[in-house]
Homo-oligomer: A and B are copies of this chain.
Amino acid sequence: MFSSTVENYLKAILVHGEGSGGEVMPMGALAEALDVSPGTVTTMVKALAGQGLLAHRPREGVKLTKAGRAAAAAVLRKHRLVETFLVTTLKMDWAGVHEEAEALEHAVSDRVLERIDELLGHPTVDPHGDPIPSAKGEMAGPGGASSSRLTLASCELKTQWSVARIRDQTPAFLNFIRDTGLKPGARVRVTRRDPAGGVVCCEVKGAGEAVIGLGEAGNIEVRK
């Protein structure tokens, strides 16, 4: 249906909105996200707007149309289900799965995805804790409604929390997360927080003590 290139454009706009409440995405941000030149984005965006997939507000940015959002959600669903599959079924190191999924999301058919979803038992979040859009394209309120976006930098001390999502998904940080056991689902209790020294200490259920920078702690969302 759509080329890999088009799918990547649409998905990038959707995930941008996920982080920053559905506003228009500036052309520069899109160019950055896709690692292409600004001029390329302008050209491409005009073509996609012509196809009714997105609205171009010149000198302002882009916004997905209904059709564009549906297509983007389908790609994002593939991406996140594939990531989950790679980690759960194929036992791959989760620091690398994003890159793999970046290619597979364009090659996995709806029929194959269907089977993967089934095999995994219809998961609702991926290994990083990001929500998996439903087959109908519904996104479980990601940046918005659900939780109040607490993190290890802001949650109450000495209470049991559950790691919900890792914001910084660079391989290096993900490896650190793996090593400390602070993966989504892990139960954690912040024992001490020192804003002056910029250090957060916590107790990870089943994985012992973990010390982490305050800024980094702000990239680990918790819940409950």
Instruction: Name the contact of A92 in the complex, choosing from B92, B100, B112 (C-beta under 8 A).
Output: B112
Instruction: Name the contact of A115 in the complex, choosing from B90, B109, B119 (C-beta under 8 A).
Output: B90
Are A108 and B115 closer than 8 Å at their CB atoms? no
0/1 string, A61-98, CB within 8 A of B gives 1: 00000000000000000000000001001111000100
Are B104 and A108 closer than 8 Å at their CB atoms? yes
List, in ascending order, chain B residues with CB within 8 A of A31's CB. none
Tell me if A116 counts as interface (CB < 8 A to partner B).
yes
Are A107 and B109 closer than 8 Å at their CB atoms? no
Can you list 8 A-B pairs with a CB-CB distance of less than 8 A? A92-B111, A92-B112, A92-B115, A100-B109, A100-B112, A103-B107, A104-B108, A107-B107
Instruction: Name the contact of A86 in the complex, choosing from B91, B96, B112 (C-beta under 8 A).
Output: B112
A138 to chain B, nearest CB (A): 24
Tell me if A106 counts as interface (CB < 8 A to partner B).
yes
CA distance A86 to B115 in the complex (A): 9
The complex is assembled from copies of this chain, and their number is 2
Are A90 and B112 closer than 8 Å at their CB atoms? yes
0/1 string, A198-220, CB within 8 A of B gives 1: 00000000000000000000000
A83 to chain B, nearest CB (A): 12
List, in ascending order, chain B residues with CB within 8 A of A91's CB. 115
List, in ascending order, chain B residues with CB within 8 A of A115's CB. 86, 90-92
List, in ascending order, chain B residues with CB within 8 A of A90's CB. 112, 115-116, 119
List, in ascending order, chain B residues with CB within 8 A of A119's CB. 89-90
A78 to chain B, nearest CB (A): 11
Instruction: Name the contact of A107 in the complex, choosing from B86, B106, B111 (C-beta under 8 A).
Output: B106
CA distance A92 to B109 in the complex (A): 12
CA distance A107 to B4 in the complex (A): 11
Which chain B residue has the least Cβ–Cβ distance from A92? Answer: B115
CA distance A119 to B104 in the complex (A): 18
Which chain B residue has the least Cβ–Cβ distance from A105? Answer: B107
Q: Knowing that A100-B112, A103-B109, A104-B104 are A-B contacts, what are 17 other residue pairs whose CB atoms are under 8 Å apart, sorted by A's residue number? A: A86-B112, A86-B115, A89-B89, A89-B119, A90-B115, A90-B116, A90-B119, A91-B115, A92-B111, A92-B115, A96-B111, A100-B109, A103-B107, A104-B108, A106-B107, A107-B107, A107-B108
